[in-house]
Amino acid sequence: MHDERERYLIRYVPSFAPMTIARAEGAWVVTTDGQRILDFTSGQICSTLGHNHPRIVAAIRGSLDSVMHLNSWMLSEPVLALAERLAHLFPPPLRRVMLLNTGSEANEVAFKLAKLHTGRWEMVGLTRSFHGLIGGTSALTFSMGRAGYGPMVPGAFALPAPYAYRCPIRHCTGQCDCTCLDVGFDLIDQQSAGSLAAVVAEPVLSTGGIIVPPDGYFRRLRALASARGMLLIMDEAQTGFGRLGTMFGFEHDGVIPDVVALSKTLGGGIPLAATVTSDEIEADCAAKGFVHVTSHVSDPLPAAVGLAVLDVIEEERLVEQARRRGDYLLARLCELQERHEPIGDVRGRGLLVGIELVEDRVTKAPANRLGAAVTAESLRRGLSMNIVRAGANANCFRMAPPLSISESEIDFAIDVLDASLRAALDTLASQKP
């Protein structure tokens, strides 16, 4: 059915949500018709602190009274303060920061730094990854958005993702043992033109279906990359600043990347991203003439917001809270799995959690019709979730509520999901001939 709201919009997704939002606060959005909806994806996984947090609003108002935007060559106090604050959050030698707008751009800068520093041009990512849909990042995004746009940037290779529930190399059963890494690099070695620059990975693959690598995975990835003279880039767009129950996702395995890309969770709902690297890499790239200038590099207003986000995360101990609330959410979802056969897998870390729906647990055939029905029914009942399909054989609900989510709000989400599953199953059963 035609959506009249689309009259003046370029349609960038298959369909828009069937309501219009009037306002938002905390974990909730309110439609123009007055319906309250629990936002279990924190907007586009950006509203780390919840919608319209008072400290973010205050930071924006302060910038309106001082300075919002400057020429990219001009620096402001918020930019200098945020760069210093971020540098001290990271372990040495990660001390150099560039403030940008989106995760795509932060990864683009990371890729350019890696290529310029190493003098090489081949890049490696993981299948089911998402690093952006612009320029070089689209070549390393293997979960979506590849068809129909012509050739990608050359020299992009993919490692099989550590997707234990559906092992891509048909080796593991339920627990990844990292054989996919060894097999993947064997294949890359045979395809490479001898110019491997870097490997990029998300600590938890989010858009690809909440794929959680096993403990030790990134230590093994680092070793295999270093043996080939490659840099390690960690894309922390969706995982940084507490979402996984640690300040950064790479901390889980105790590795220190060469470059880190940040976005989403840093801006609290405002476009803000950053690329972080070492003094050595920065100095080498600067000497080689590194350039990346856009209209809003180092803008004061988003930098002021980033400082407010970091203040709230620290003062309200949201990293620890995300770990506790994530454990609670996973436990409640496991209870739900016991009651609903179509929930084939429950997985996640911290407050980045997913459930995969299947026709049955033996064949693991994806329950795509059920997923669509549950999405619509949940939204009707007041719960917004994001279903991700990285290919035909995945149907995973992605849950990434604000770090400030309460247990009672989680309980509400579980109740709605429970009722929606029952209703959708009944409806689909009644439609069978």
Is the pLDDT at 249 greater than 70? The verdict is: yes
**Same fold flag, 4-52+317-431 and 56-315:** no
User: Mind listing the pLDDT tens digit for each residue in 309-353?
Assistant: 999 999 999 999 999 999 999 999 999 999 999 999 999 999 999
The pLDDT assigned to 386 comes to 86
Tokens representing 92?
A: 């040495």
User: Mind listing the pLDDT tens digit for each residue in 24-71?
Assistant: 999 999 999 999 999 999 999 999 999 999 999 999 999 999 999 999
**Residue 21 DSSP SS3:** strand
The pLDDT assigned to 111 comes to 98
* DSSP element (H, E) containing 182: helix 179-191
Tokens representing 241?
A: 């600043």
Distance from C-alpha of 120 to C-alpha of 19, rounded to nearest angstrom:
48
Mean pLDDT of 195-220: 97
The pLDDT assigned to 14 comes to 84
- Predicted confidence band of residue 299 (pLDDT cuts 50, 70, 90): very high
Is the pLDDT at 154 greater than 90? The verdict is: yes
Distance from C-alpha of 248 to C-alpha of 303, rounded to nearest angstrom:
19
The pLDDT assigned to 258 comes to 98
- Mean confidence (pLDDT) of the chain: 95
| Cα distances (angstroms) measured from residue 426 to each of 116, 364, 396 | 57, 20, 20
Cβ–Cβ under 8 Å, residues 245 and 350: yes
Tokens representing 96?
A: 């150099």
What pTM did the predictor assign? 0.96
pLDDT above 70 covers a percentage of the chain that reads 98
Q: Phi/psi at 111 (nearest 5 deg)? A: -65, -40
Cβ–Cβ under 8 Å, residues 135 and 153: yes
The pLDDT assigned to 392 comes to 55
What's the distance, CA 77 to chain centroid? 29
User: Nearest to residue 353, comparing CAs of 399, 390, 396?
Assistant: 399
Q: What angle do CA 390, 396, 397 make, to 5 degrees?
A: 130
**Greater model confidence, 115 or 433:** 115
- Predicted confidence band of residue 135 (pLDDT cuts 50, 70, 90): confident
Cβ–Cβ under 8 Å, residues 161 and 168: yes
Phi-psi sector, 90: left (phi>0), alpha (psi -120 to 50), beta = beta
Distance from C-alpha of 389 to C-alpha of 397, rounded to nearest angstrom:
9
Q: Quick one: CA dihedral 32, 33, 34, 39, positive or negative?
A: negative
**Largest Cα–Cα separation, the chain:** 70
Distance from C-alpha of 9 to C-alpha of 79, rounded to nearest angstrom:
34
4-52+317-431: CATH topology is: Aspartate Aminotransferase, domain 1 (3.90.1150)
Is the pLDDT at 292 greater than 90? The verdict is: yes
Q: Where are the alpha helices (DSSP H) in 204-317?
A: 217-227, 279-287, 300-315
* DSSP element (H, E) containing 326: helix 318-339
**Domain-wise residue ranges, the chain:** 4-52+317-431, 56-315
- Predicted confidence band of residue 412 (pLDDT cuts 50, 70, 90): very high
56-315: CATH topology is: Aspartate Aminotransferase; domain 2 (3.40.640)
Tokens representing 419?
A: 């009722």
Tokens representing 10?
A: 């370029």
Distance from C-alpha of 191 to C-alpha of 208, rounded to nearest angstrom:
24
- Predicted confidence band of residue 13 (pLDDT cuts 50, 70, 90): confident
Cβ–Cβ under 8 Å, residues 147 and 190: no
Residue linked to tokens 């030698």: 93
User: Nearest to residue 412, comparing CAs of 105, 1, 4, 36?
Assistant: 36
The pLDDT assigned to 387 comes to 85
The pLDDT assigned to 161 comes to 96
User: Nearest to residue 186, comparing CAs of 160, 152, 218, 219?
Assistant: 160
Is the pLDDT at 174 greater than 90? The verdict is: no
Tokens representing 259?
A: 């470059």
Tokens representing 174?
A: 């339920």
The pLDDT assigned to 391 comes to 55
Beta strand spans in 224-291 (E): 231-235, 259-262, 273-278
The pLDDT assigned to 3 comes to 85
- Predicted confidence band of residue 390 (pLDDT cuts 50, 70, 90): low
Is the pLDDT at 404 greater than 80? The verdict is: yes
